[in-house]
Structure 1
């Protein structure tokens, strides 16, 4: 079974030789949150201990990191291990350690290519390491679809890729054909995306209605296949938007928060749930504020309490924050400070 790997273009590609013993499936709740943290720390340490090259944090400016996961085997205890190692690779490519958590890097001109492989096909996801935003994807036909720039951050994936084609050296081989770029009609925020996901039983198909499963209609497997074979005529339909909503949770949000990773580990083990719990949504909506207070604490400037919401309550100190947070935002200027529904991080 192929294990997820992290490779910088200028380093030897690494094969993470992990011992694949069954681990507990982690879901929602404080106990499982603690277990998720312990397991992921062990996995990250093991991955780099058996690495063929030196462990390296951050993706240098103007460069591309490449990592991947293979889901062809379906849900299993080994798939759970594979997934947590995949997330550890994303965190390592996006930043570095800060206290007991990770924090994103400052360089905003680099890119992460995260492949999800299934039965010989490869869905290529593009993530900006300075804020863990999912920016777009490349399908099996080498067509790239990317979020429309919004008023809060004028990030254009097509322009970033064009610049990388001049700066990434041999890493330019990781880029897709630049002549097949398609801008989506929605931008990098949940409300804009959810205006295209449609409804289920007269309720908006949002994070509360999301199919959190491996083989469900809009779970992991079908979301990958939906995006692999999408074409430009599908960009206004709900199928693409729902599949992207899943991918955001599976990569970006799970890299940031322990509990989101726990829920997705359940997906990799074969459990099926409807919706992301309200507490997790509150945390996702306050990633910037939590990160800012934690950054202050690690700089010996004190921790400013953060009210997250009615389900999480107030985080009063760094210990409260690190129970939930796995990877913080290094430079809070990279995320809009209002953190309202129109500017929730993707």
Structure 2
């Protein structure tokens, strides 16, 4: 098992080794600390660098992209911790696929149980707990239905992040508190997978973990449109650099942002691309990213 740890508020860590090997578990960690601070902002970005390294290979121009899928694929354990009102540290592990950065489930640390999305398809062999399906899927429509709200009405404040970590860390059943579980997962997926993919999402959460007074009551439409077009923008980039499936790619249009015309514009928004071996093309894949 390869290991990269971002252990807490004032600590530093080296990013994880590139790639997560077949059958292995790559581990990255973030402790939320006791309050927002500039040090926590640094710790959060260091954590994201570790997560990106755990799933990525590097193209010749320095661009990071997710590793290729395999039947024996490993998994990334993303540990998030916070202190409850009694000062006890509680932690939850999110399970992340390294070929696409999808969160497929979570495990309250120390519980011996993982709760996975009902539609999740991944190599379960590296997961060292029992596995129980949640009563909802991880695709966009299913998660929104279970949460009773979408990203446009999802609060992003330090207290919301803390509450989401604690809610999942204290969960004891797949079938209780399902709305709160779906809401917590939606927020923490944004904080981890989506922020690893997109520069602007990292900025949202850097601000939230750094300042009591900063937050937002939902993501604007243009940021959601970016998330929904991760596959399209990745495919466009690979076609431009000659690693895709056409020499005359369709120029993407992202509502709220406009036309994306070149590799520099793709890299302005995307920090990690989807692998060029995924075979994605227009339109988006059937699973909406979250």
Q: TM-score range by the shorter chain?
A: 0.7 to 0.9
Alignment of 1:1-346 (within 5 A): 9-10=1-2, 48=14, 56-98=17-59, 99-108=61-70, 109-119=73-83, 120-140=89-109, 141-149=111-119, 155-156=121-122, 160-161=123-124, 163-164=125-126, 175-178=127-130, 181-198=131-148, 205-215=149-159, 219-232=160-173, 234-235=175-176, 237-270=178-211, 271-299=214-242, 304-331=249-276, 333=278, 338-339=283-284, 343-346=287-290
In structure 2, C-alpha distance between the alignment counterparts of 1:229 and 1:336, rounded to whole Å = 40
The 3-state SS of whatever aligns with 1:316 is coil
The 3-state SS of whatever aligns with 2:233 is helix
The 3-state SS of whatever aligns with 1:137 is strand
The structure-2 alpha-carbon separation of the partners of 1:298 and 1:307, relative to structure 1 and needing over 3 Å to count, comes to closer
Give the unaligned 5+ runs of structure 1.
1-8, 21-45, 165-174, 199-204
The 3-state SS of whatever aligns with 1:121 is strand
Q: How many residues align?
A: 277
How far apart are residue 310 of structure 1 and its match?
Answer: 2.4
In structure 2, C-alpha distance between the alignment counterparts of 1:250 and 1:131, rounded to whole Å = 16
TM-score under structure 1 length normalisation:
0.73
The structure-2 alpha-carbon separation of the partners of 1:241 and 1:113, relative to structure 1 and needing over 3 Å to count, comes to same
The 3-state SS of whatever aligns with 1:131 is coil
The 3-state SS of whatever aligns with 1:191 is helix
The 3-state SS of whatever aligns with 2:158 is coil
In structure 2, C-alpha distance between the alignment counterparts of 1:122 and 1:18, rounded to whole Å = 15
In structure 2, C-alpha distance between the alignment counterparts of 1:261 and 1:303, rounded to whole Å = 32
- Which is worse superposed, 82-91 or 266-275? 266-275
TM-score under structure 2 length normalisation:
0.86
Quick one: higher RCO (CA 8 Å, sep 6+), 1 or 2?
1
In structure 2, C-alpha distance between the alignment counterparts of 1:220 and 1:324, rounded to whole Å = 23
Q: CA RMSD in A?
A: 2.7
